[in-house]
A and B are shown apart, each in its own frame.
Chain A
């Protein structure tokens, strides 16, 4: 038996004229992070709501922790934690009261619920604000309280819908740390995001959704290979040295690729881009550029943007369709 902790097949959901889910299949292995990536309106939230027992699909089946979501939602609810896209903390309750209430609804004794609340508030740096109504919290604090709320019951499967939207970069990395810790403690995490770097940093596998359909399911590396992967971009201080820079960077290019001068696809001319395999390419590129005496004003690694991912995926898709 494969150890799939989330399995969905053929999920369909329609809202009026919008086909929010148009036959979505999902699979997440136990103890891993599945990143669900997609632009606005792709159907990410809808899919999460179906899996978290909040929404009945029009068609399709879903299992979470081996339990049928449609037939036994109550048993599923004992095993999941959900942080929705929009903060659902109760503004009039304090941080502690919010978490204790959830503990009580999870059938902890009041004593255990209080202990768990204190533990989580401490962990999320909210101890000082624990006694204040949540309406006095900043956006980031609410988001963290919301995340803490989904962890009260030590869930086996955690659903996080855009957990880092609205967080500053430091808190964002903290959140990544939280996700990783949950996984080391045995949980499985399904998270949606609009950021490729976030999916890349956290996810063992990535599902890309667009217009209610899964257009790719792959490891981050596999996905990057398909869409071009990392790019090293270098901008010589002297634009005349662009050809020299291209020659140097050809040496660090990923197999079968070559450096090219920017200037087409919307980017500012005067720079050189080269597909590379990983950040070790920097170790070779920097000394080589120095040796050739090329001064640079910009040097950096770039992941393909979400735009580029979609572009690449939808393009290969139409090509496949044309060929078949």
Chain B
């Protein structure tokens, strides 16, 4: 600390207006903050276990341990049935880490810094969610690649498969706002995980991921039918291994819109309140 002269520079003439207007500022700030999240992801690759190793282990476990019993010996047929469903499950689980990270950021005081800066109110959350695209893409690639090694085959074509991946990522981006909201509400990252498991486990197991719905008792079938994971699994299954898509897709998109409409405002409000 020897040279004491700091060149005075660089803030624009009208310091009360964000450069390029409010929307441009939101995009710019969100991108900058998304970059921050990505740098953190690259620096701590072990944080990707839940979107790499964990789904692979689940896939192996269910295919080889339970698959024979569930599908009456035809493991290949079961893998074709299971993989699209497990993709949906992994996406729902993949959002949990986001809420935990945001909660930790708040605890550590990192967000205090952002909140003392003139950034758009939603930018820290939007940026963090946007960076999660990378994790969801990773889940899709890892599961499809590993599934292929295990014998899974896409039976439709390249474009439908791409559509399946896009839909999966899109759903992940909508679903993770629940985790963001919970991350703003509870005290510790551990609690975020606890609460989200309570939500995600019934949703992913009480669905058509592992077994056909018509094998279930009536009351459980009723739950499966109102479960947002069910139409998602239906859509992905249709897009990867064939079958009806349109009906499932409409319901899935409606759910995605619904999740955004409900949980984005809830998360933003909880964030604004959390001091």
B-binding residues in A (CB < 8 A): 49, 52-56, 74-75, 77-80, 82, 84, 86-93, 97, 101-102, 104-109, 112, 115-116, 119-120, 122-125, 133, 149, 151, 153-154, 174, 177-178, 181, 185
| Whole-angstrom CA separation of A269 from B40 in the bound complex | 59
Asked whether, in the complex, the Cβ of A49 is within 8 Å of the Cβ of B16, the reply is no
Task: Answer yes or no: B186 CB below 8 A from chain A CBs.
Answer: no
Asked whether, in the complex, the Cβ of A112 is within 8 Å of the Cβ of B110, the reply is no
Give the contact stretch, choosing among B7-15, B167-175, B227-235.
B7-15
Report the tally of A-B residue pairs with Cβ distances under 8 A. Answer: 114
Task: Answer yes or no: B116 CB below 8 A from chain A CBs.
Answer: yes
What are the 5 closest A-B residue pairs judged by CB atoms, nearest first? A88-B109, A77-B118, A112-B10, A104-B32, A82-B116
Asked whether, in the complex, the Cβ of B4 is within 8 Å of the Cβ of A105, the reply is no
| Whole-angstrom CA separation of A105 from B29 in the bound complex | 6
Task: Answer yes or no: B159 CB below 8 A from chain A CBs.
Answer: no
Min distance, Cβ A183 to any Cβ of chain B, angstroms: 12
Task: Answer yes or no: B119 CB below 8 A from chain A CBs.
Answer: yes
| Whole-angstrom CA separation of A125 from B114 in the bound complex | 24
Task: List the A side residues contacting B116 at CB < 8 Å.
Answer: 52-54, 77, 80, 82
Query: A106 and B9 in contact (CB under 8 A), knowing A78-B16, A133-B43?
Result: no
Asked whether, in the complex, the Cβ of A178 is within 8 Å of the Cβ of B275, the reply is no
Asked whether, in the complex, the Cβ of B15 is within 8 Å of the Cβ of A93, the reply is no
Task: List the A side residues contacting B118 at CB < 8 Å.
Answer: 74-75, 77-78, 105-107
Task: List the A side residues contacting B29 at CB < 8 Å.
Answer: 104-105
Query: A97 and B39 in contact (CB under 8 A), knowing A104-B29, A112-B10, A154-B11?
Result: yes
Asked whether, in the complex, the Cβ of A82 is within 8 Å of the Cβ of B113, the reply is yes
| Whole-angstrom CA separation of A75 from B1 in the bound complex | 31
Task: List the B side residues contacting A120 at CB < 8 Å.
Answer: 6
Asked whether, in the complex, the Cβ of A105 is within 8 Å of the Cβ of B117, the reply is yes
Q: Which one, A108, A174, A185, contacts B1 given CB within 8 A?
A: A174
Q: List 18 A-B contacts (CB under 8 A).
A: A54-B112, A54-B275, A77-B116, A79-B15, A84-B109, A88-B112, A89-B110, A92-B39, A101-B33, A104-B28, A104-B29, A104-B32, A107-B12, A107-B25, A116-B9, A123-B3, A154-B6, A174-B1
A-binding residues in B (CB < 8 A): 1, 3-4, 6-12, 15-16, 18-19, 25, 28-29, 32-33, 35-36, 39-40, 43-44, 108-110, 112-119, 123, 275
Nearest-neighbor residue (CB-CB) of B12 within chain A: A107
Task: List the A side residues contacting B11 at CB < 8 Å.
Answer: 78, 106-108, 153-154
Nearest-neighbor residue (CB-CB) of B41 within chain A: A92
| Whole-angstrom CA separation of A81 from B124 in the bound complex | 18
Asked whether, in the complex, the Cβ of A92 is within 8 Å of the Cβ of B16, the reply is no
Given A56-B275, A154-B9, A181-B4, 5 additional A-B pairs, CB 8 A: A77-B116, A82-B113, A101-B33, A105-B123, A124-B1
Task: List the B side residues contacting A90 at CB < 8 Å.
Answer: 36, 40, 110
Asked whether, in the complex, the Cβ of A92 is within 8 Å of the Cβ of B275, the reply is no
Min distance, Cβ B63 to any Cβ of chain A, angstroms: 36
Q: Which of A105, A115, A153 has the most CB of B within 10 A?
A: A105
Task: List the A side residues contacting B33 at CB < 8 Å.
Answer: 101, 105
Task: List the A side residues contacting B36 at CB < 8 Å.
Answer: 90, 93, 97, 101
Nearest-neighbor residue (CB-CB) of B43 within chain A: A92
| Whole-angstrom CA separation of A174 from B118 in the bound complex | 29
| Whole-angstrom CA separation of A102 from B116 in the bound complex | 11
| Whole-angstrom CA separation of A53 from B39 in the bound complex | 28
Min distance, Cβ B50 to any Cβ of chain A, angstroms: 18
| Whole-angstrom CA separation of A93 from B43 in the bound complex | 9
Min distance, Cβ B135 to any Cβ of chain A, angstroms: 16
Asked whether, in the complex, the Cβ of B113 is within 8 Å of the Cβ of A88, the reply is yes
Nearest-neighbor residue (CB-CB) of A82 within chain B: B116
Min distance, Cβ A59 to any Cβ of chain B, angstroms: 16
Nearest-neighbor residue (CB-CB) of B40 within chain A: A92
Nearest-neighbor residue (CB-CB) of B32 within chain A: A104
Q: Which one, B4, B39, B43, B117, contacts A102 given CB within 8 A?
A: B117
Nearest-neighbor residue (CB-CB) of A152 within chain B: B117
Task: List the B side residues contacting A78 at CB < 8 Å.
Answer: 11, 15-16, 118
| Whole-angstrom CA separation of A108 from B110 in the bound complex | 20
Task: List the A side residues contacting B28 at CB < 8 Å.
Answer: 104, 107
Task: List the B side residues contacting A53 at CB < 8 Å.
Answer: 115-116
Nearest-neighbor residue (CB-CB) of A175 within chain B: B1
Query: A105 and B32 in contact (CB under 8 A), knowing A75-B16, A178-B1?
Result: yes
Query: A107 and B18 in contact (CB under 8 A), knowing A53-B116, A88-B113, A149-B113?
Result: yes
| Whole-angstrom CA separation of A107 from B27 in the bound complex | 12
| Whole-angstrom CA separation of A221 from B35 in the bound complex | 50
Task: List the B side residues contacting A185 at CB < 8 Å.
Answer: 6, 8
Min distance, Cβ B129 to any Cβ of chain A, angstroms: 17
Task: List the A side residues contacting B114 at CB < 8 Å.
Answer: 105
Q: Which one, B19, B108, B112, B115, contacts A107 given CB within 8 A?
A: B19
Nearest-neighbor residue (CB-CB) of A85 within chain B: B109
Q: Which one, B9, B19, B117, contacts A77 given CB within 8 A?
A: B117
Query: A108 and B115 in contact (CB under 8 A), knowing A54-B275, A90-B36, A177-B4?
Result: no
| Whole-angstrom CA separation of A54 from B117 in the bound complex | 10
Asked whether, in the complex, the Cβ of B109 is within 8 Å of the Cβ of A177, the reply is no
Task: List the A side residues contacting B108 at CB < 8 Å.
Answer: 86, 88, 91
